[in-house]
Amino acid sequence: MRRAMVIDTRRCVGCEACVVACKTENRVPEGSYRDWVTQETRGEYPSLELILRSQRCNHCSNAPCVSNCPVGASFYRGDGTVQVDRDLCTGCRACLESCPYGARYVTPEGFVDKCTLCVHRLDEGKPTACQEVCPTGAIAVGDLDDPTSLVSLRLRRGDSSVVAPEAGTHPNVYYVR
Amino acid sequence: MHPHIEIDSTRLAAHLVAERVWGWEVPVYLFLGGLVAGLMIAVSAAILTLGKERATKAMRLGLLAAPVLLSLGMGSLFLDLTYKLHVFRFYTTVVPSAPMSLGSWVLMLVYPVQLALILALPHSMLDPYLARVPQLAAVRAWAERNVGALALAGLGLGVALGIYTGVLLSATVARPLWSSGALGFLFLASGSSTGVALLMIAERDHAMNALFAKADIVLITLELLLIGSWIVGLATQGPLYREAATLLIKGPYAPAFVGVVVFGGLLVPAALETLSLRGKALHSRWTPALVLAGGLILRFVIVYAGQDVGFVTG
Ligand code: SF4
Ligand code: SF4
């Protein structure tokens, strides 16, 4: 199984419901975010283009947060996601320094946390909290190994991109337009 | 950033982007680690090339200082951990891909070699204490017999420790400023130079001081070359890397980097050491003190500036 997220930026209206849903579902501490919405404006007036992206940990296939974690607390779960084992984490923050997307934060208790791709929900057959609440259906989560999954279908449309591919991390959160 | 792209985000609105992750503890740790690496390299090299009989009082003192300085450095890293209870986790696993894991194990190997070297070349002030622990006599005899092998181990571990302090930064992918293989060697050269500088402050033997000064000039020259290759490498790697390098050359860190580190911590001491070797200036303890201060500021500048430029802005 290769879990991935494919976000249709043409559907996204930037309502930030995903941000609120994630904060509630995962009890994300005040001042920290597991997901956030980026609003990118390109061009010059009057010819402007607006791209909205709901962003989070990219569950990278070549994750520097995993390779640089000195205790193995950051790990590949084997389903395409990257997770943090809080029972191992020392709070050295080598992973925060290694993540090109700033996807991680330190909890008030001192360990590191980030988007889990809501695997606790996916494992029960439920959608992620952000996917469930998105009013326009911009967010799709599924298995890339399954050619009939919504993520595979969306990616087959072509014209997909990832954030900062130049960082070489091979993200598994894709954006289609 | 591209002039025609504007970014706004949830996190920017909450002022969460560009927060510094690592504070003063990390540069202090990297400085002390490099200094200890330098002490081990300098003393081990002196034993191997000149023989243990030529080991001076300053070198013996340097050996004694090494584990203390290393412990201070590790203490600083401990302060940096936000989940301190789990510090023991560093020693329940080895993660070959993580420099911080390999470095923690190198640190554990460094201590016994340092202690064995101290026993092989004890400082006179230690003698009365050593005599009181007869069990140590056998260890001491063993260390004295194997001083060559111990110096070789000290040299190897010193080099590993020195390189590690730089690779710790360059292995992180997210910081363009640190993204250079030159950093490991730069920190090794700088650590060696600060180790030699600390010995020069304590050294009374004129001939040995001259030897240290010569070694330091070579190390400073190497450092300047490595800084050059690092900066030129970044400047030719792409816009983001150029932006990172610019921070040091003409950005907010330029006074500290160009003024304090390159000028005050490398060029001025190298010039003063050259003049004193030619008999045109008196040997002063201020010269090695400049090298030490430059080494400390170098690490602060690199760690802080490195966190100011990243791949995403929103
Ligand atoms: S986005 Fe960051 S935290 Fe998530 S897997 Fe990639 S490098 Fe790690
Ligand atoms: S903060 Fe925790 S998860 Fe991150 S690198 Fe350190 S030990 Fe690993």
**B129 sits in which H/E element:** helix B127-132
Q: Do the domain assignments include residue B11?
A: no
Q: Do the domain assignments include residue B155?
A: yes
Q: What is the pLDDT of residues B97-112, one digit of tens each?
A: 999 999 999 999 999 9
**What is the distance in A from the centroid of ligand 2 to the CA of B209?**
44
**Residue B1 banded pLDDT, cuts 50, 70, 90:** very low
Q: Do the domain assignments include residue B12?
A: no
Domain count, chain B: 1
Beta-carbon separation of B93 and A72 below 8 A? yes
Q: Which residues pair with A82 in a beta bridge?
A: A76
Q: Which residue has the tokens 């997770």?
A: A83
Domain that holds residue B221: 21-306
Beta-carbon separation of B86 and A68 below 8 A? no
**What ipTM goes with this model?**
0.94
For residue B283, is pLDDT > 90?
no
Q: Do the domain assignments include residue B7?
A: no
Interface probe for A, chosen from B19, B311, B313 (most Cβ of A below 10 Å), is B311
The rounded average pLDDT for each run of 10 residues, N- to C-terminus, in chain A (177 residues) is 97 97 97 95 92 97 98 97 98 98 96 98 98 98 97 93 96 96
Q: What is the pLDDT of residues A81-130, one digit of tens each?
A: 999 999 999 999 999 999 999 999 999 999 999 999 999 999 999 999 99
Helices (H), chain A: 17-25, 64-67, 94-98, 119-122, 129-133, 150-156
Residue of B nearest to A30 (CA): B14
DSSP label of B263: I
CATH number at residue B175: 1.20.1630.10
Residue of B nearest to A111 (CA): B83
pTM: 0.95
Interface probe for A, chosen from B20, B21, B26 (most Cβ of A below 10 Å), is B21
**What is the distance in A from the centroid of ligand 2 to the CA of B293?**
31
Rounded CA gap, A65 and A100, in Å?
Answer: 9
Ligand 1 atom 2, closest CA: A99
Q: What CATH number was assigned to the domain covering residues A3-176?
A: 3.30.70.20
For residue B15, is pLDDT > 80?
no
The Cα diameter of chain B in Å comes to 76
Task: Return the HEC string of A49-89.
Answer: EEEEEEEECCCCCCCHHHHCCCCCCEEECCCCCEEECCCCC
For residue B13, is pLDDT > 90?
no
